[in-house]
Amino acid sequence: MSPLARWHGVFSIRGFFTSLNKDLKLIFFANLAGSFGDGLYAYIMPYYMKDSLKANAVEIGVLYAMTNLFATVTLLIAGLLADRYDHKKILVLGWAAWVPAPLIFAVAKNWVQMIPGMALWGVTLGPPAMAAFIIATTNKNKLTLTFTVISSAWSLGYIFSPALGGYLGGMVGMPLVFLLSSVCYTGATVILLLIKSQYCANHISGAERKEAPTLQLLKSRKLLVLSIFLGAIMFAVFLFRPFIPTFLADVYGYNGFQIGVLGSFSFFGSALLGVILGRFGDKTKKTHALAAALALIGFALVPFLLFDDFQVLLVTQVLVGASYLAWPLMSAIIGPLAPERARALWVAIPLAVGMFSSILAPYFGGILYEISPYYPFVFGITVTLFLGLLAFAKLRD
């Protein structure tokens, strides 16, 4: 194969699903349906809490912190469960746990009544089981692409649903939007009922071999390094990304519709770059794909800060979409390194560290933003480029 043909394969979108078997395609469409329902209200939820439920900033922060805390804890629980039980059942349970959440939001009259729904919304059981499922069923030469393609389902679901949810909320009220979201979550759950059951290799063999206990398998320098690395990435991303809409409004004076369009382009960029970087990682190295994603984020933030031009900002937001790819790219790196009997937990631990970072980062980002709206983004540029260089030079597949 000529070099030109090789690189054409990296950037070609044709054959989007070629890396997915039947079960993985079902997982893709389940994520697409669920993320579409999630996008109907997730983007405008803080506004709804403030405007309709009269919650103040502290109360809204408490609700989201609790959601992220539940996500951190349930990721670890999911990792333990996925190494012992049917991956299919855990994936189904992950979406089923979200079904009642928007129904609770629909009937809540104040922020306190939102607490049970926010707790359920934080339940995150799917990623460890999904990673184990992907690794066990995918051609290893297409592993990075498979992770990023399945992840892109979330971004595709989010491209149009926030605008639709905002429109319907204004026309017919948010209770109907929440109901539609619950229907989408139910659809995702039903789709996953169609995939095959899958257990880890130890469960299938039923062997009672004298192997190292799970705790011993977790005492790995590689796991520690990768967990810290993902935590650093997520801290850098969540320190600036929540403030993009605020910056666009405060500094450039854009209205809600313009900010929404830019947000949609960011999710579009995540889906597009997911395919491109997935192919790139399989053609070269997974760690190089991660380094490229981090470099794209850092370089995109420079014109974002320098140019108040809508067309320029559209391009920057497409590239900033790479910030949504840290989880799938790191899962593609971590999964093959993990011992079989603890694979899901190996994936879950770095993800939980990353989620914990996402709880702390917005607080520090807010402090920097109060000093200057530019500071969180300057921090993001510096750290993402530094981490990208480390990923390229030091991390190994």
**pLDDT for position 17:** 61
> In the chain, where are the structural domains located?
19-194+217-393
- How much is the mean pLDDT over the chain? 83
Helix axes 22-42, 174-192, angle to 10 degrees: 170
- Cα-Cα-Cα-Cα dihedral of 396, 202, 93, 36, to 10°? 30
Closest CA relative to residue 276, chosen from 32, 303, 284: 284
Interval 174-208: pLDDT, tens: 899 999 999 999 999 999 999 888 876 555 444 44
Average pLDDT for residues 10-17, to the nearest whole number? 50
How far CA 221 is from CA of 61, 82, 141, 182, 224, in Å, comes to: 35, 22, 26, 42, 5
**pLDDT for position 79:** 82
Average pLDDT for residues 278-291, to the nearest whole number? 87
- Residues 282 and 144: beta-carbon distance below 8 Å: yes
Neighbours of 306 (CB within 10 A): 10
Interval 358-386: pLDDT, tens: 778 877 888 888 889 899 999 999 999 99
Interval 207-226: pLDDT, tens: 444 445 555 555 677 878 88
Distance between alpha carbon 197 and the CA centroid of its chain, in Å?
A: 24
Please tell me which residue, 1 or 288, carries the higher pLDDT value. 288
**pLDDT for position 200:** 67
- Cα-Cα-Cα-Cα dihedral of 245, 249, 252, 255, to 10°? 100
**What percent of the chain stands above pLDDT 70?**
88
Close Cβ partners of 134 (under 8 Å, ≥ 6 residues apart): 24, 143, 146, 147, 150, 331, 335
The second-level CATH assignment, the architecture, of 19-194+217-393 is Up-down Bundle (1.20)
| Top-confidence range, 32-46, 92-106, 317-331 | 92-106
